[in-house]
């Protein structure tokens, strides 16, 4: 999935190639669809990442604090910018929306990481919760847009073996975990009938942004798996964001400083190729994540 980030805050690389590659890819897509966005947004975001990187590596404590605070201000600006870009563009510029939201997600994570550097755990958790609410709302809007007015289109015969009911159900379960495949079938029963009766009418109602670069509408169905992958990628990114929040809650509940958390090492040598360290508290801790 092309828009996700490392699963551990300790392992995040700020100011590295990952972010620059992601932003360059975003610019390429914008150029292809002839869509103009002020590149100052990207420059400011890269500058914020550099400030954050400085905050994590400087020797002088006061310099680290000042750099972290400067980075936080820029991340706050980036969060407003990318939220506004999403609100303005998600129906007109669907190809770039996953990049917007992955960058917005990274801005919140980086901001929280700066607060951890300042040992402001409660503020970091609060910003995660606020960011999660905004990101979830954005992802849900985009899912509704991509699934269109007739999600049954994703289960047409041409996509057999590529998209099935289970895959579509997993997307709906992100919103309501109680749903099962039978529930989704019942939700789409009438949609199947309508699409079978009036396929051309439905295709003509597809938003123009989803038809961009598709020369013949009759070929639209072959692009549907790609749209579904975008949605799945955004859901995965949001789930990783929640895992970051869980990690910060664990640090806070354990009463550890972030510095001590970073210094944790396995009690036994790790197996070759195994990058996972299991942390088992002596007592259960409340780090549950709400939706």
What are the DSSP calls for the chain, one per residue?
A: -TT---S-GGG--TTSHHHHHHHHHHHHHHHHTT----THHHHHHHHHHHHHHHHHH-SSHHHHHHHHHHHHHHHHHHHHHHHHHHHHHTTT-TTTHHHHHHHHHHHHHHHHHHHHHTT-HHHHHHHHHHHHHHHHHHHHHHHHHHH-S-GGGGGSGGGTTTS-HHHHHHHHHHH-TT--HHHHHHHHHHHHHHHHH-HHHHHHTS-GGGSTT-S-GGGGGGGHHHHHHHHHHHHHHHHHHHHHHHHHHHHHHTT--HHHHHT---SSPPPTT--------SS--------
**What is the rounded average pLDDT of the residues 185-206?**
84
pLDDT reading at 236 higher than 60: yes
Q: Where in the chain is the domain with CATH 1.20.190?
A: 9-147+230-262
Give the pair of three-digit tokens for residue 3: 């828009």
pLDDT reading at 276 higher than 90: no
Question: Residue 8: what pLDDT?
Answer: 44
Question: Residue 173: what pLDDT?
Answer: 96
**What is the rounded average pLDDT of the residues 30-50?**
70
Question: How far is the C-alpha of 70 from the C-alpha of 55, rounded, in Å?
Answer: 9
Question: Residue 265: what pLDDT?
Answer: 73
> pLDDT: is 42 or 68 the higher one?
68
Whether 239 contacts 105, CB under 8 Å: no
pLDDT reading at 223 higher than 90: no
Which of 117-131, 196-210, 270-284 shows the lowest mean pLDDT across its residues? 270-284
> pLDDT: is 23 or 185 the higher one?
185
Does domain 9-147+230-262 correspond to CATH entry 2.30.30?
no
Q: What is the pTM of this model?
A: 0.81
**What is the rounded average pLDDT of the residues 244-248?**
89
Question: How far is the C-alpha of 234 from the C-alpha of 96, rounded, in Å?
Answer: 12
Give the pair of three-digit tokens for residue 107: 């801005």
Q: Is 119 left (phi over 0), alpha (psi -120 to 50) or beta?
A: left
Using pLDDT thresholds of 50, 70 and 90, give the confidence band for residue 279: low
pLDDT reading at 9 higher than 50: no
pLDDT tens-digit readout, 130-180: 999 999 999 999 999 999 888 998 998 889 999 999 999 999 999 999 999
Using pLDDT thresholds of 50, 70 and 90, give the confidence band for residue 274: low
Question: Residue 181: what pLDDT?
Answer: 96
Where is mean pLDDT largest: 140-149, 191-200, 272-281? 140-149
Which of 13-17, 151-155, 180-184, 286-290 shows the lowest mean pLDDT across its residues? 13-17
pLDDT tens-digit readout, 78-124: 999 889 989 888 887 667 788 788 889 989 999 999 999 999 999 99
Using pLDDT thresholds of 50, 70 and 90, give the confidence band for residue 11: very low
pLDDT tens-digit readout, 45-85: 888 888 988 888 888 989 999 999 999 999 999 999 889 98
């Amino acid at each position: 999935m092309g828009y996700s980030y490392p699963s551990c805050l300790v392992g995040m690389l700020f100011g590295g190639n990952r972010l620059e590659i992601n932003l360059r890819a975003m610019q390429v897509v914008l150029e292809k669809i002839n869509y103009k966005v002020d590149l100052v947004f990207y420059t400011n975001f890269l500058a914020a990442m550099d400030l954050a990187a400085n905050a994590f590596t400087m020797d002088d404590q006061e310099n680290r604090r000042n750099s972290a605070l400067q980075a936080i201000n820029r991340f706050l600006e980036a969060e407003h910018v990318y939220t506004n870009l999403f609100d303005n563009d998600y129906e007109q510029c669907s190809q770039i929306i996953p990049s917007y939201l992955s960058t917005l997600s990274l801005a919140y994570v980086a901001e929280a990481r700066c607060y951890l550097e300042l040992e402001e755990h409660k503020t970091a958790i609060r910003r995660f919760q606020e960011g999660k609410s905004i990101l979830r709302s954005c992802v849900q809007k985009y899912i509704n847009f991509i699934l269109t007015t007739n999600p049954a289109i994703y289960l047409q015969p041409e996509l057999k073996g590529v998209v099935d009911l289970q895959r579509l159900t997993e997307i709906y379960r992100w919103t309501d975990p109680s749903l099962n495949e039978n529930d989704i079938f019942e939700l789409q029963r009438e949609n199947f009938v309508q699409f079978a009766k009036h396929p051309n009418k439905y295709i003509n109602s597809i938003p123009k942004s989803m038809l961009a670069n598709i020369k013949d509408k009759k070929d639209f169905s072959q692009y549907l798996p790609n749209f579904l992958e975008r949605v799945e990628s955004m859901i995965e990114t949001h789930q990783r964001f929640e895992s970051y929040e869980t990690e910060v809650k664990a640090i806070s509940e354990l009463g550890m400083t972030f510095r001590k958390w970073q210094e944790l090492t396995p009690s036994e040598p790790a197996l070759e190729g195994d990058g996972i360290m299991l942390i088992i508290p002596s007592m259960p801790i409340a780090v549950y994540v709400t939706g």
